Amino acid sequence: MDITVNELIEKDKTFSESEFKSKVENQFMQIFLAVTVGKIERIDHFVNDEVYARLKAIVEDNAAKNVIHFYEEPNVSNININRIVEEEDCFIIEASLLFKAYDYFASKGDLKFISGNKDYRTETVRRIVFKKMKSAREFGIQRKCPTCGNTMDTNYSGMCPYCKTIFDLETYDWVITFLDI
């Protein structure tokens, strides 16, 4: 059933529209950086398995072609929440955002331009879908590793720097289940 932002706030007291939009921008930018540098393990804690597999395939394809996909001077603007769905066990938010960047491919060795647009920033509307389980537990501002108890920076890698446990964000927060890339 579709619900409004205000209804979501009533049902999930931890939800804030401005914080959610900030999360969308932050995670979207982290994904594009991870694809560019070829290190998607940095983002696997806030995407589901399907999105991770798609991103991994893109990175592997670029590596096989010996190219780097650059997104220079990236910018996210006009984040819109298009739809909020309440299901029996979760909430789903479909959003769109305007993404601007110099979007091109270069050879990995000498960084010579191959294709794309290096002359001006292109604008594309991207769709992104998040899901949060209704059973999600609150974790507050300081996140602790569930294995060793040390503080974790889940915005950076989602991996405990001490014991290497991966933080399961799905148990606590919104996870990306679809990304238009």
pLDDT in tens, 29-79: 999 899 999 999 888 888 999 999 999 999 999 999 999 999 999 999 899
- Tell whether the model's pLDDT for residue 150 goes beyond 60: yes
119 vs 32, 68, 83, CA distance in Å?
19, 17, 35
Q: Which residue has the higher pLDDT, 57 or 109?
A: 57
Q: pLDDT tens for residues 115-134?
A: 999 999 999 999 999 999 88
- Tell whether the model's pLDDT for residue 155 goes beyond 60: no
- Tell whether the model's pLDDT for residue 167 goes beyond 80: no
User: Are residues 91 and 8 in contact, defined by beta-carbon separation less than 8 angstroms?
Assistant: yes
Of the options 3.10.450.240, 3.90.1300.10, 3.30.720.200, 1.20.120.160, the CATH number for the domain spanning 2-140+172-179: 3.10.450.240
Average pLDDT value for the chain:
87
Q: pLDDT tens for residues 136-145?
A: 766 554 466 6
- Tally Cβ neighbours within 10 Å of residue 82: 11
pLDDT bracket for residue 160 (50, 70, 90): confident
Q: Which pLDDT does position 158 carry in this prediction?
A: 59
- Tell whether the model's pLDDT for residue 23 goes beyond 60: yes
Q: Which pLDDT does position 121 carry in this prediction?
A: 93
Rounded Cα distance between 116 and 89, Å, is: 42
174 vs 29, 67, 92, 159, 163, CA distance in Å?
16, 32, 9, 17, 24
* Domain limits, the chain: 2-140+172-179
